[in-house]
């Protein structure tokens, strides 16, 4: 089935994969210089409130990878998506296009967020004060945008 927006989807997919490969390369080339104790948790203001070992970077990377792969598999099966609107023969391409764009965008936000958190922790830095509200606005704003678009394209 042809779904419009292929260029947008391709760009987000390439950026996500570059972030994933870039983090892996960072680990391979910098593991020896990463401190043994790193920030393990941040509070809502981005301040470090727990320290942990650098092995947690691999755990975070693995979680990101599992979520990325899970969403990548899910996006291949539009019939499994909860569309929120009735899918008909006439609106199927429009509905699936909007939802696929939403999934690709959320997947990219997820990978970019994990990348930022992992690199901040690996460098022993606190997150910026704007991180939590920024990610919340970005994520829920994206969902709202695509849900409105979905409602208009049904």
Domain limits, the chain: 6-152
- The band of 27, judged by pLDDT with boundaries at 50, 70 and 90, is very high
Most confident of the ranges 98-112, 123-137, 140-154: 98-112
Instruction: Quote the pLDDT of residue 154.
Output: 74
pTM here? 0.88
CA 69 – CA 61 distance, rounded (Å)? 12
Beta-carbon contacts of residue 143 (< 8 Å; ≥ 6 apart): 102, 106
Share of residues in the chain with pLDDT > 90 (%): 56
Interval 76-128: pLDDT, tens: 888 788 777 787 888 888 888 888 999 999 999 999 999 999 999 898 888 88
């Amino acid at each position: 089935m042809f779904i419009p927006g292929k260029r947008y989807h391709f760009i987000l997919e390439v950026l996500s994969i570059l972030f994933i490969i870039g983090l892996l390369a960072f680990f391979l080339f910098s593991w020896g210089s990463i401190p043994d104790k790193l920030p393990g948790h941040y509070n809502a203001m981005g301040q470090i409130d727990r320290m942990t070992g650098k092995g947690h970077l691999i755990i975070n990377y693995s979680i990101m990878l599992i979520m990325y792969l899970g969403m990548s598999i899910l996006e291949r099966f539009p019939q499994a998506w909860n569309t929120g609107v009735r899918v008909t023969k006439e609106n199927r391409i429009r509905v699936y296009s909007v939802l696929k764009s939403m999934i690709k965008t959320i997947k990219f936000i997820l990978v970019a967020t994990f990348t930022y958190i992992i690199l901040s922790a690996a460098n022993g830095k606190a997150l910026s004060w704007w991180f939590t509200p920024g990610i919340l606005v970005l994520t829920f704003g994206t969902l709202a945008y695509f849900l409105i678009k979905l409602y208009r394209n049904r």
